[in-house]
Structure formats: structure tokens, C-alpha cells
């Protein structure tokens, strides 16, 4: 670097939300001098909407963040008030964990963790500008005049960029209620050549818990003992708080319909697209007028507060309408409003401007993570924050970035979807977005990602050892399962027939029996003689779970692995950076335009670009082959992030990581 | 273990295509049955996808949205393997000259093994072996079968070594005698020795990929090649494709609706999503399965149409079969001579009638013969007749009907045959002969041959229906045969008959019309109905059908929702690959339009 003074920070993270915290922690833990600049230090890790972490699809993200060495899982385990495993009646591939958290406790714990992190400094202030020289970021400037030099910046501004709150006909500039928005940064980003667009999101009202009538609602309790997100810590025991379930009525819908003209959605004072899957009650009534009722979950916001969160009553109708709506709902007839629901509109950065490492294509060293990229949800934010933080650190250390693949993690699916397809509504993770859903499960996040987390430097050797131990156990017990025979005794056969499955006609390996849906592990043990059963006395529950899953899904898993292998060639075929898409004959105009705009790095990514058809891809392939053949040097500099995608590389590694799938 | 070819940079040509510099290395890995080649350049390795044959017409047939190109290339991608013919791997061979009158026919071979294979089958007159032959030399000698030692043909062999050849690979051209038989024999020999029959346009494709010609030049080559097939045919393909897309989209939408319901219960189990009515879902899926079965059946038709409706020309020796073939093709093809039993082998030719491809198979005259070679030919002919979709049974109007004619008539199926009464030019009054033929065809046979109509009654011969043939007779009858022929025996039922002269072309138009009629009506080939036109589409439709079947079993056996989802997704994705639609956005759209989801 010559005579240049050392930058004050290696990495600056702008914004202290869920993405910002993960990014800051990751960067600091990887040895970067990190600064977290936020408008309100008090509001770090605040949960502005549902005080919950996890759910189907989202829970898998949190689990993966934890498996890699991120913070959200652990933080949730320390602060939850209710924990429940979802989809238990369905297969393991779609089971997910969901926690109701104590908002304050969640924030506090995160703040404690931040304060205990050595290389991390907290700064309160408003970032107004980025210093960029020769298309590389060199520092940030604050509205109050302070400047900090740095080598990389992670933008994690959430809903704060030119944020605007709308309730009914009233609106005011705010990132969240009661908080000033970021006023200048948007303009700065635009000046740097980045495009911005608008999205909106909304949140429901909060009511006073002392004013509800639980007898008119149904009770929802958590699992005992509560499972946890984190692989590394067991959640401390606590008294779990209940949730309640009620439903809106025809009366509710009449109220909404009568006052619809006051809804900012109708009046147009909220522009920007909202998410389809998180519609406000106004939208629900408009779109599904025949539905007589909609569910409303009444959720605790914490141990130290009486406030309850009304999930399902998201709205930005005027306050007096909100009260009417609430009072028309059984159980909430007398409920008193503490805070009204509102809509927030904000600038976001269309994520096709990012690379798969979450770095902007336009400015080197500038990363972006979280709701600013057009996602919604704390889990999606945390996943991006973690990756952005890791990659900012690796950028500073001159290492190739980390890119997770779609067959490796939901995080991979998330980022690939964002960067390749872009968003036209706030993006939320669903399991149906993952084509390899059977392989990306809650129970095998550690096997997939912990080796990687260790090699990155985010997990300790002890933690890795834990992961390896589980792997060994699964192997050992898997082998044991294969050797163990179940004999066709009368007692056994009678038992099997009672379970609704066929009797045995010869000694059968236990593994085969476990394939039958009617035979669970407990049932299997019953079929074994006492002496043999003893060998299973100390097997950990998670090992049993994994073995059962692998056995049940065997055929399907094999198929998916074969599919992944087949796609490998496409996924890893690099597209040279210099390739001029406009010059490729045989592709449609639309395809050329989209490819030129997005500049995908691999053929696989190109195949997912909207507007590019399979025929276009094969033409591209022909051209690539030609380029590869005649200009052999063109592809040598494979700077594309994909090659270094993962230190756990492929289906072979998956099989190695998850024994028993062979 | 997998074969890997590497190019070491030092020995790479300026354009990187020097085949001889390739070294082979062993590298672990690789999917089952495929070969991966990696190019090592500058120290980095890049996996090149393995090969898969491309089945469609010239891959370089037009660059801007032309469907043939897209069909061809879609073929590759659609198999989910995204593989490409690896031009460096195989040695391909094809007859390069158009079949037609001429003294010379050229068989061309290109690829790394060209010289090796040629060397095994070529015996130069001067005795020197092939290998040290100079580039661009022409050697005189014989092609022989190394197993039997028999000579196949006397040839001139041209050597063009890489990279200075059309394809930039080693190219060997064998200039054989004109006449399909000799060329085919050479082709078959070389194929046996290790060359692979080239796909249409493959030489040109290799030339393009190896940088020998650019896309514009390739297109012009393709255009010339394409000019031989009719524009109507192409329009027909496109039209079929449109109809097919509509049908496939409809099926896919039905599947998507079921899938969306199942997915919704998985992803939104917390919400108030109605529980699935499995019975209803199973009903929809059973319906879809039926639709796919029907569609898959069209694949057979599609395949027939792709390679031509197999039409066998049969008849006893010397009735004029080969003449008829030549007449239909309007050019000399088979060897025609006075001696019966001249066509020893089956000769196949593709032509087009009414926009449909017909593969005419000329056969050896079927008779009892002592000659062994002829006997083999006859057996082949009988097989060809049995396997044919349509049979043109040729009879000599100028001669008496003989034993062989009767036995042939007994084997024919009226729905799939046309009686061709040949040599009408030799008769002054053909009506009597035709009448006799018709009567012979109508003679009651054993239980296998029921000549009655579907209702059980004898079908009347309506003036318009089969009157076509009679009117022909009248028209071509030089000396007045007015009105219809009256037969002494009961009228024929369902036979189609045409009186022609292969020699002077009379009646051929009507024959063509009859062929068209039989093919469309008899085989259920309706050009308006969607048909799975390519192997790729058939494979995908089959995949979809299997997915649906698996989902149905899953519902019955009550497997987990997520497994049923997997099967359905596979099916939806397969259908989407036929029409080019994407799964996830469609799925989410479907879910959100059906269900009120939201927290």
C-alpha cells in the first residue's frame, strides 16, 4: 500500500439490524477491525415486526447461520419465550423450528455479544456518504461531519433509506416509528451509479395483554423440553409463554370494507410494492372476499412487557379503524391499543446489481445485506449479513469470496435467487424455493456447513469436533443398523401386523425395517432382543433422527444427488468476464440484453436468469465451447466466485459428510 | 475413472485446436455413462460436458429464432444433462454425396480415428500402408472387409490431416462407385470398425466449433442442405409444436394446481390453509396421467413421422416394384434390370407425400427361390412388410394372377394396404384385369381375413368412395370403358386400388393421393392434433408420467407430503422443459392466488 496511511477500519458496517450485527460480528471474528455505525445504538437488533425467529424455510436459514458460526441461532436460544418445532406431522425435510422471543432480551443479548467482541467498535451516527476512489470504497462520511476511512463497507440499512411511515392519511419520514430515517445515503448511492427502487412493508398493532379474553381464543403452547436453534449451546430451561389463536369475523371484514377508502393502499399514499405472502388485513379482505374469517395469532412480546403482537392484522388503516377491527375479533373485544400498526416505505437496492458474494458490481469493497436488498425477515437478513461480513473480511484479506451453492444451503438459494432473478416484491424464503429441499434440512445443517465454518475461522476446533463426532456416530450406528438383524419371531410378527405392516419371512436387517413408514425407531427397538437393544442405550437423539431420515428418504436423496452431479458441469462452467453477450448470434434479443445486464459468472447462473430460455443456454454453450477452444487463455483467470464456492465441494462431499446416503 | 483429455499449453496451436497435441489423463469422478473432458489451459482445468447425440435436423439451421436450431439445441439441454457432442472425441462417418445418378459417391470420415479406421479397411494398390501417406494425397486401392477378406469396392482414398481439413480434424474421404449399394456397404463397414454415423450437419457443426467457418458460413451450408426438404414440412413441424405446447401447458397447469395445494400445506402449515382433499387431488392426477398416456402414444406417430411412415413395396418378382419406386422418387435409385430377383437387398428412400415424410422400402420380389442370397432378400422383404406401417402391393395387370399373388393378397390388411395394379400401359382394356384383381382380393379367406364391414354387412361400394380407382381406370383406358365395372362376385370391402404405369407415370398422382388418405385416416395421424415430435419431448413426457404415477402411489401409501411434492415437482419441471416454463415463480403465483396467506 505504499505510503498511504492505514485505514482506520478494515470493515465498516452501516446499520445495526439483524444483517448488520451478523456482518459486524463475522468481520470482527475474522480479524478485521470493524466499526458498526448505527443511528441508534439503543436499537441495535431491534425486532420491529413479529418478535419471532424461524418458521418453515426461515428456520432453516437461522440454523444454517448457526452452523456456520453466526449469531442469530444462539441469540434466539438465549431469549425465546416459546419454542416449537413445526410440521412435525410431516417429513423431516420440511420440519422447521420457530421461536417466539422476548424482544428486549433478544436485543440485550446481542448487545452483550457485540460488546464482548474484541475488534468491534460501536458508533452512533448517520452515514450520509461513501468515499469512493477509482470505483473502490475508501471510507464513509457521517452527517455530523465525522469521517472514517476503511477498506470495505457493508450496507445493512434495512428500511431506513428514505423511510416513510404511513398510517391512514398521516405519513412522516421515519425508518421505524419514532426513529429518523437515513436521509442522505440514498442520494449518495445514486450518485455512485447504483439504482434504487421502493418497497413497502407493514406491521400490525400491539395491544395490552391485560385486556384480552383468553377464554374466547385457543391456546398454543411450546414444545417441552424446548429444542434450540444452536448446535453449540443447549437452551436454558425457562417457563414458556403461551400464544393464542383467534379469527376475524364477518364483522371485521365489514369494518375493513367500510373504511377501505382510508387505506393508504387505496389512496395511493403508499407506493412501492408489498409482499404477497404477508398481506395486510385490508388486502386479505379485498382479495379473498368470500373467506369468512382469517386467523389472528396473539403473541407475547416478552416477559417484561404486557404488549401482545397481533399476527395477521397487519394494517396501515387509520388508528380508529384499527381499534374497530380489533374489537370485532373474538377475544379482543376489550383490547386496548398500545401501538398502532403502520406501513413503512423505503428504498432498496435491486439485488441484481450484486455479485453472488453480495458485493456490488459497480463499486469494489462495497457489500450489501439484509432488507436493503429487497428481502423481508430477520432470518433472511441474518443470512445475508453473515455472508456479507465474511466476504468483506475475505476481501480485506485478499481471499476469494465465499459463495454457497443452491444444493448446499438455503443461504445459497437465497443469494442466488436475489442476485440472479432479482425481486419484484420483498423476498421471503419458502422451502419450495429450494429444488434440493430434501437435502437441505434442519437436522443436517451442521454436517453441511460446519467444516466450512471452521475453515473460514468462525468455529473453534471444539465445535468442529462436535460436528465430526456426530458424523462418526451416524456412521457407526448406521453400520450397526445394517448388521443388526430382526428375527421373524411370533412376537415380532404380531407386533408388526398390529402396526399395520407386513410380517417378516426371514431375518431382516434393521435398516430395511426402518424404511417402513409404520416402523419408527422406538418400534424397531421393541423388535430387538434385550442384549442387542442395550447397544443402543446411549445413542444420541440427533443421531437417531438423522439415520431415520436418511433411511426414509434414501431413494429420493440418491435421485437428487444424481441430479446435482448432472448439473455440475453447467454449474461450474465459467463464463469469461470479457464475453460480449451482444455479439452472440443465435440468442434472442431479450436473452442477450438480460445476460449483458447481469453478467452471470457461470452457465448455471445464466440458466436461471429470467428471460433466458434453455435454447439460449445451449447456444451460449456452443459459443463458450468455441471460445474455450480457440482462445485457450480467455478462461484461465477464473475470478468468478463460483470456483471457490465451498470448501465442502460437492455431492461427493455431501455423501462424505452425511454417511449412510450411499 | 474417467478419461480426460488435456491440452498442454506449450503444444497448443495458435488456434488451440491441434488435436495431435492432446494428451490423455485419468481423472476420478464423472457421472455414470458419460465422459468428461477437461481442457487444461494455463494450468486451470475446466470441465467440458460429456457428449450426447443430437437428434434433430441441422443444428446450424438458422440463427435468429429459427425453430430448427432451437429444437436441435433444446434437444441437448432438455435432457437435463446439458451436454454437447464432444467434437474431439468421436470419429464420424457419412455418405457425403447426394444419392443420385453419378459415377462417384463419397464417404467422408472425420475425427481422431479416421486414419486408423480407414487403415484397417483399405488396401492400397501400391502396397504402402495408410499412415505415412502425405497430406492431401489421393490413394488408389480397395476397401475390404478385414473379417472376411472380401473386397467391398474399388476406391480412391483422400487423406486430409488436421488442422487443414474441413472440420480441422483428420478427414478421410473414400471415393466409391456411384450407386447407393456400394456407398452403404462402405459406410456399414466403417461403422463396424469404430466410426459413428454422423448426425445431420455434424461435419459442418464441427467445422464451426473448431473455428474453421463462422456462423454465417455455417448457415449458408445449412440452407443448402435444408433446401432439399420442403418448406411445407417445416411449417408442419412448427405447427405441431404450437399445438403441442398448448396441450402440454394445459397438463402442466393442472399438475401445478395440485402441487400448489400440497406445497401450501408444507410451507404454510401455520396458516389457515385448508387441508388437502387427497381424493380430489388423486382424481386430478389420475386424469393427468391419462392425458400423458395419450400424449405418449402420439410419440409413436411422431417418431414415425420423423423418420417417415414406413411403406413397403411388395409383390412377386418383376411386377415393377423398383420401377414404381423410381417413378415415385422421380429418379433412378434401385438397380433395375430385366432379370427377376435383381434387388437383392431392401432399398429405403425418403420422400414426401402431402407434407408427410414417407420412407419407401423397396423389397426383393417375394417368391420361392433356390438362390440363397435371393432367399435372404426375400426373408428381409417379408419382415419389412410385417414391420411396415403401410404396404403398397404391386400386381402385374398384364399377366395372369399367380399363386404368389394370391398368397400376398391373403396377408394384406385392407386398412394398411394399397393395391397397385401396375403396367396399365401394356393393356388396351385394363378393366377386366382390375376386376379380376379386385375379385381375387375379395375372395373369402380364413377367419383371419374378414372382408365384411364393421356392422357385419357387406359394404356397398359407393360411387364416390372407391370410385376414384375405377374412374382412373376409365380415364386411363384408351379404348372406352364407360361407367363402373360390374363384378360377378360380391363387391370388395375397403380395398384401395390404383391402376398405374410405373413406366410412363400414369396414375401416380392418384397413388400419392391414396397414400395420403391411408396414412391420415388409417393410422390416426391427424396433422392438427398435437404430437410429440422429438425424442427429447418423448423422454420428458415419460418423465412427467412417471412422476405423476409415483405421486399417485405416494398418496395411496400415504407417504409424506414432501415426497409427493418431489414427484410432482419433477413432473411439472419435465413438462416445463418442453414448453420452456419455469417452476418456482409459477408455483408461487399459483399458491398466492389460491390461498390467503399472511402473517
Per-residue pLDDT, averaged over A46-64, amounts to 94
pLDDT in tens, A406-454: 999 999 999 999 999 999 889 999 998 998 999 999 999 999 999 999 9
First to last CA, chain B: 53
Chain B contacts of A628, Cβ < 8 Å?
39, 41, 46, 48
pLDDT in tens, B95-124: 887 655 567 888 999 988 899 999 899 988
Interchain CB distance below 8 Å, A585 and B577: no
Q: Is B14 on the interface with A (CB under 8 A)?
A: no
Chain A contacts of B50, Cβ < 8 Å?
569
In the predicted structure, residue A203 carries a pLDDT above the cut 70: yes
Chain B contacts of A311, Cβ < 8 Å?
599
φ, ψ dihedrals at B390, nearest 5°: -145, 140
As a whole number of angstroms, the longest Cα–Cα distance in chain B is 92
Torsion of CA B454, B458, B462, B465, to 10 degrees: 40
Chain A contacts of B55, Cβ < 8 Å?
none
Residue of B12, B14, B80, B599 to mutate when probing chain A, most A C-beta within 10 A: B599
In the predicted structure, residue A399 carries a pLDDT above the cut 90: yes
pLDDT of res. B304: 58
Q: Is B35 on the interface with A (CB under 8 A)?
A: no
Q: Which residues is A218 bridged to in the sheet?
A: A245
Interchain CB distance below 8 Å, A622 and B209: yes
ipTM above 0.90, yes or no: no
pLDDT of res. B139: 87
Chain B contacts of A276, Cβ < 8 Å?
592, 597
The C-alpha of A159 sits at a distance from chain B's nearest C-alpha, in angstroms, of 19
CB B560 within 8 A of CB A90: yes
Q: Is B45 on the interface with A (CB under 8 A)?
A: no
The CATH fold assigned to A461-552 is Arc Repressor Mutant, subunit A (1.10.10)
φ, ψ dihedrals at A393, nearest 5°: -65, -45
Phi-psi region of B439 (alpha: psi -120 to 50; beta: other; left: phi over 0): alpha
Per-residue pLDDT, averaged over A312-338, amounts to 93
State chain A's mean pLDDT as an integer: 87
pLDDT in tens, A204-216: 999 999 999 999 9
Interchain CB distance below 8 Å, A284 and B582: no
Q: How far apart are CA A329 and CA B221, in angstroms?
A: 75
Nearest CA in chain B to A203: B599
pLDDT in tens, A646-660: 333 334 444 444 443
Give CA separation, A237 vs A62, A221, A226, A231, B345, in Å. Answer: 21, 15, 8, 16, 88
pLDDT of res. B454: 30
Phi-psi region of A455 (alpha: psi -120 to 50; beta: other; left: phi over 0): alpha
Interchain CB distance below 8 Å, B63 and A585: yes
Evaluate whether the domain defined by A565-657 bears CATH number 1.10.150.570.
Answer: yes
pLDDT of res. B97: 75
Of A50, A294, A572, the CB nearest to B47: A572
Q: Which residues belong to CATH 2.40.30.260 in chain A?
A: 206-345
Interchain CB distance below 8 Å, B269 and A90: yes
Interchain CB distance below 8 Å, B82 and A569: yes
Interchain CB distance below 8 Å, B76 and A433: no
Interchain CB distance below 8 Å, B16 and A632: yes
The C-alpha of A657 sits at a distance from chain B's nearest C-alpha, in angstroms, of 17
pLDDT of res. B520: 65
CB B483 within 8 A of CB B474: yes
pLDDT of res. B503: 83
Q: How far apart are CA A13 and CA A191, in angstroms?
A: 20
Phi-psi region of B149 (alpha: psi -120 to 50; beta: other; left: phi over 0): left
Interchain CB distance below 8 Å, B563 and A626: no
Q: Are strands A337-339 and A34-38 parallel, antiparallel or unpaired?
A: unpaired
- Residues with pLDDT less than 50, chain B: 1-88, 216, 219-220, 222-237, 239-240, 332-342, 445-492, 599
φ, ψ dihedrals at A655, nearest 5°: -65, -35
The CATH fold assigned to A206-345 is Elongation Factor Tu (Ef-tu); domain 3 (2.40.30)
Q: Which residues is B123 bridged to in the sheet?
A: B142
Q: Is B77 on the interface with A (CB under 8 A)?
A: yes
Q: Which residues belong to CATH 1.10.150.570 in chain A?
A: 565-657
pLDDT of res. A429: 94
* CA A553 to centroid of chain Cα atoms: 24
pLDDT in tens, A527-563: 888 888 888 888 888 898 888 888 888 888 988 898 8
CB pairs under 8 A between A and B: 195
In the predicted structure, residue A274 carries a pLDDT above the cut 80: no
Query: Which residue, A341, A63, A344, is CA-closest to B599?
Result: A341
Residue of B55, B66, B266 to mutate when probing chain A, most A C-beta within 10 A: B266
Q: Is B594 on the interface with A (CB under 8 A)?
A: no
The verdict on pTM exceeding 0.80 is no
Query: Which residue, A546, A561, A529, A526, is CA-closest to A478?
Result: A546
Of B268, B566, B599, the CB nearest to A50: B599
- % chain A with pLDDT above 70: 92
pLDDT of res. B357: 67
Q: Is B558 on the interface with A (CB under 8 A)?
A: yes
Tell me the torsion sign for CA atoms A174, A176, A177, A178. Answer: negative
Work out the burial of residue A487: count CB atoms within 10 Å of its CB; fewer than 13 is exposed, 13-18 middle, 19 or more buried: middle
Of B272, B563, B587, the CB nearest to A91: B563
Interchain CB distance below 8 Å, A632 and B562: no
Q: Which residues belong to CATH 1.10.10.1800 in chain A?
A: 461-552
pLDDT band of residue A490 (cuts 50, 70, 90) is confident
CB atoms within 10 A of CB B194: 14
Torsion of CA A642, A643, A645, A646, to 10 degrees: 170
Chain B contacts of A621, Cβ < 8 Å?
49, 76-77, 82, 84
Amino acid at each position: 500500500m505504499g505510503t498511504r496511511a492505514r485505514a482506520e477500519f478494515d470493515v465498516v458496517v452501516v446499520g445495526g439490524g439483524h444483517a448488520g450485527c451478523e456482518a459486524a460480528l463475522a468481520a470482527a471474528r475474522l480479524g478485521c477491525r470493524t466499526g458498526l455505525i448505527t443511528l441508534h445504538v439503543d436499537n441495535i437488533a431491534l425486532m420491529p415486526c413479529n418478535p419471532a425467529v424461524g418458521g418453515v424455510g426461515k428456520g432453516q436459514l437461522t440454523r444454517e447461520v448457526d452452523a456456520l458460526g453466526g449469531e442469530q441461532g444462539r441469540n434466539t436460544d438465549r431469549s425465546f419465550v416459546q419454542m416449537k418445532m413445526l410440521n412435525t406431522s410431516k417429513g423431516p425435510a420440511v420440519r422447521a423450528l420457530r421461536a417466539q422471543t422476548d424482544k428486549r432480551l433478544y436485543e440485550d443479548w446481542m448487545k452483550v455479544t457485540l460488546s464482548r467482541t474484541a475488534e468491534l467498535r460501536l458508533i452512533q451516527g448517520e452515514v450520509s456518504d461513501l468515499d469512493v476512489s477509482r470505483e473502490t470504497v475508501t471510507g464513509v462520511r457521517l452527517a455530523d461531519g465525522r469521517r472514517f476511512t476503511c477498506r470495505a463497507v457493508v450496507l445493512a440499512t434495512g428500511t431506513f433509506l428514505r423511510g416513510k411511515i404511513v398510517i391512514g392519511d398521516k405519513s412522516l419520514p421515519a425508518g421505524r416509528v419514532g426513529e429518523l430515517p437515513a436521509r442522505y445515503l440514498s442520494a449518495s448511492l445514486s450518485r455512485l451509479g447504483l439504482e434504487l427502487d421502493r418497497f413497502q412493508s407493514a406491521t400490525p398493532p400491539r395491544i395490552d395483554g391485560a385486556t384480552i379474553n383468553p377464554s374466547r381464543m385457543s391456546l398454543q403452547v411450546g414444545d417441552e423440553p424446548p429444542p434450540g436453534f444452536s448446535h453449540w449451546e443447549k437452551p436454558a430451561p425457562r417457563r414458556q409463554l403461551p400464544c393464542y389463536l383467534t379469527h376475524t369475523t364477518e364483522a371485521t371484514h365489514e369494518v375493513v370494507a367500510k373504511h377501505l377508502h382510508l387505506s393508504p393502499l387505496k389512496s395511493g399514499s403508499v407506493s412501492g410494492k408489498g409482499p404477497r405472502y404477508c398481506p395486510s388485513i385490508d388486502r386479505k379482505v379485498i382479495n379473498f372476499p368470500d373467506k369468512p374469517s382469517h386467523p389472528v395469532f396473539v403473541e407475547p412480546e416478552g416477559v417484561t412487557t404486557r404488549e401482545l403482537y397481533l399476527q395477521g392484522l397487519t394494517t396501515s388503516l387509520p388508528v380508529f379503524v384499527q381499534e374497530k377491527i380489533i374489537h370485532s375479533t373474538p377475544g379482543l373485544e376489550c383490547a386496548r391499543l398500545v401501538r398502532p400498526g403502520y406501513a413503512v416505505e423505503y428504498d432498496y437496492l435491486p439485488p441484481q446489481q450484486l455479485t453472488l458474494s453480495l458485493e456490488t458490481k459497480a463499486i469494489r469493497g462495497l457489500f450489501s445485506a439484509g432488507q436493503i436488498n429487497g428481502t423481508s425477515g430477520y432470518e433472511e437478513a441474518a443470512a445475508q449479513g453473515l455472508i456479507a461480513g465474511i466476504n468483506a473480511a475475505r476481501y480485506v484479506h485478499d481471499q476469494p469470496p465465499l459463495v454457497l451453492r443452491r444444493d448446499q444451503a438455503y443461504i445459497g438459494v437465497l443469494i442466488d435467487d436475489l442476485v440472479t432473478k432479482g425481486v419484484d416484491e420483498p423476498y421471503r424464503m419458502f422451502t419450495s424455493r429450494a429444488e434440493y429441499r430434501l437435502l437441505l434440512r434442519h437436522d443436517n445443517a451442521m454436517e453441511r456447513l460446519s467444516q466450512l465454518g471452521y475453515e473460514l475461522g468462525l468455529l473453534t476446533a471444539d465445535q468442529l469436533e462436535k460436528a465430526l463426532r456426530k458424523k462418526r456416530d451416524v456412521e457407526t450406528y448406521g453400520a450397526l443398523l445394517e448388521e443388526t438383524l430382526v428375527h421373524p419371531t411370533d412376537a415380532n410378527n404380531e407386533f408388526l401386523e398390529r402396526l399395520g405392516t407386513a410380517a417378516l419371512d426371514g431375518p431382516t436387517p434393521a435398516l430395511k425395517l426402518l424404511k417402513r413408514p409404520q416402523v419408527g425407531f422406538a418400534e424397531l427397538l421393541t423388535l430387538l432382543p434385550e442384549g442387542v437393544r442395550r447397544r443402543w442405550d446411549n445413542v444420541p437423539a440427533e443421531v437417531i433422527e438423522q439415520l431415520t431420515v436418511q433411511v426414509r428418504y434414501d431413494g429420493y436423496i440418491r435421485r437428487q444427488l444424481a441430479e446435482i452431479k448432472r448439473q455440475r458441469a453447467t454449474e461450474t462452467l465459467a463464463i469469461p468476464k470479457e464475453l460480449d453477450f451482444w455479439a452472440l448470434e443465435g440468442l434472442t434479443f431479450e436473452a442477450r440484453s438480460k445476460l449483458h445486464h447481469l453478467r452471470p459468472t457461470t452457465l448455471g447462473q445464466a440458466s436461471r436468469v429470467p428471460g433466458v430460455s434453455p435454447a439460449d443456454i445451449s447456444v451460449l454453450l456452443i459459443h463458450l465451447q468455441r471460445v474455450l477452444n480457440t482462445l485457450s487463455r480467455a478462461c484461465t483467470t477464473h475470478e468468478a466466485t463460483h470456483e471457490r464456492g465451498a470448501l465442502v465441494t460437492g455431492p461427493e462431499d455431501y455423501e462424505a459428510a452425511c454417511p449412510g446416503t450411499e | 475413472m474417467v478419461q480426460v483429455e488435456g491440452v498442454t499449453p506449450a503444444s497448443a496451436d495458435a488456434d488451440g485446436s491441434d488435436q495431435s497435441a492432446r494428451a490423455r489423463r485419468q481423472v476420478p469422478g464423472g457421472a455414470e455413462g458419460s465422459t468428461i473432458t477437461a481442457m487444461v489451459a494455463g494450468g486451470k482445468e475446466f470441465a467440458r460436458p460429456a457428449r450426447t447425440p443430437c437428434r434433430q435436423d441441422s443444428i446450424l439451421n438458422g440463427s435468429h429464432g429459427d425453430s430448427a436450431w432451437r429444437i436441435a439445441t433444446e434437444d441437448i439441454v432438455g435432457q437435463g444433462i446439458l451436454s454437447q457432442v464432444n467434437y474431439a472425441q468421436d470419429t464420424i462417418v457419412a455418405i457425403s454425396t447426394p444419392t443420385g445418378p453419378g459415377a462417384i459417391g463419397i464417404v467422408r470420415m472425420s475425427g481422431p480415428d479416421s486414419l486408423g479406421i480407414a487403415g484397417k479397411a483399405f488396401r492400397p494398390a501400391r502396397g504402402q500402408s495408410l499412415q505415412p501417406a502425405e497430406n492431401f494425397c489421393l490413394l488408389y486401392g480397395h476397401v475390404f472387409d478385414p473379417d472376411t477378406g472380401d473386397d467391398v469396392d474399388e476406391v480412391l482414398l483422400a487423406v486430409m490431416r488436421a488442422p487443414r481439413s474441413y472440420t480441422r480434424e483428420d478427414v478421410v474421404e473414400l471415393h466409391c462407385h456411384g450407386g447407393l449399394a456400394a456407398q452403404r456397404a462402405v459406410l456399414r463397414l466403417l461403422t463396424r470398425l469404430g466410426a459413428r454415423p454422423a448426425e445431420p450437419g455434424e461435419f459442418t457443426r464441427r467445422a464451426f466449433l473448431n473455428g474453421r467457418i463462422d456462423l454465417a458460413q455455417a448457415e449458408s451450408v445449412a440452407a443448402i442442405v435444408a433446401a432439399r426438404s420442403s418448406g411445407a414440412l417445416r411449417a408442419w413441424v412448427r405447427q405441431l409444436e404450437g399445438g403441442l405446447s398448448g396441450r402440454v401447458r394445459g397438463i402442466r397447469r393442472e399438475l401445478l394446481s395440485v402441487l400448489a395445494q400440497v406445497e401450501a400445506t408444507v410451507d404454510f402449515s401455520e396458516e389457515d390453509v385448508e387441508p388437502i382433499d387427497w381424493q380430489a387431488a388423486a382424481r386430478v392426477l389420475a386424469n393427468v396421467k391419462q392425458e400423458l398416456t395419450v400424449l405418449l402414444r402420439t410419440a409413436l406417430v411422431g417418431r414415425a413421422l420423423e423418420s417417415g411412415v414406413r411403406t413397403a413395396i411388395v409383390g412377386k418378382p418383376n411386377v415393377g416394384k423398383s420401377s414404381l419406386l423410381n417413378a415415385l422418387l422421380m429418379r433412378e435409385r434401385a438397380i433395375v434390370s430385366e432379370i427377376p430377383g435383381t434387388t437383392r437387398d431392401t432399398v429405403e428412400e425418403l420422400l414426401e407425400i402431402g407434407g408427410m415424410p414417407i420412407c419407401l422400402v423397396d423389397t426383393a420380389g417375394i417368391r420361392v427361390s433356390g438362390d440363397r442370397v435371393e432367399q435372404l432378400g426375400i426373408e428381409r422383404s417379408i419382415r419389412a412388410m410385417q414391420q411396415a406401417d403401410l404396404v403398397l402391393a404391386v400386381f402385374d395387370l398384364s399377366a395372369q394372377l399367380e399363386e404368389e399373388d394370391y398368397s400376398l393378397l391373403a396377408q394384406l390388411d385392407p386398412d394398411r394396404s394399397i393395391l397397385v395394379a401396375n403396367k396399365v400401359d401394356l393393356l388396351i382394356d385394363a378393366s377386366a384385369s382390375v376386376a379380376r384383381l379386385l375379385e381375387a382380393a375379395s375372395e373369402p379367406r380364413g377367419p383371419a381375413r374378414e372382408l365384411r364391414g364393421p356392422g357385419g354387412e357387406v359394404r356397398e361400394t359407393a360411387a364416390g368412395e372407391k370410385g376414384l380407382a375405377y374412374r382412373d381406370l376409365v380415364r386411363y383406358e384408351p379404348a372406352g370403358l364407360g361407367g363402373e365395372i360390374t363384378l360377378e362376385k360380391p363387391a370388395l370391402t375397403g380395398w384401395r386400388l390404383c391402376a398405374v404405369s410405373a413406366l410412363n407415370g400414369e396414375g401416380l398422382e392418384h397413388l400419392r393421393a391414396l397414400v395420403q388418405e391411408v396414412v391420415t385416416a388409417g393410422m390416426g395421424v391427424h396433422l392438427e392434433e398435437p404430437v410429440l415430435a422429438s425424442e427429447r419431448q418423448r423422454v420428458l413426457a415419460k418423465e412427467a408420467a412417471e412422476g405423476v404415477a409415483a405421486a399417485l402411489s405416494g398418496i395411496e401409501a400415504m407417504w409424506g407430503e414432501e415426497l409427493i411434492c418431489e414427484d410432482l415437482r419433477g413432473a411439472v419441471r419435465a413438462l416445463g422443459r418442453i414448453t420452456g416454463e419455469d417452476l418456482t415463480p409459477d408455483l408461487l403465483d399459483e399458491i398466492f392466488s389460491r390461498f390467503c396467506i399472511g402473517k
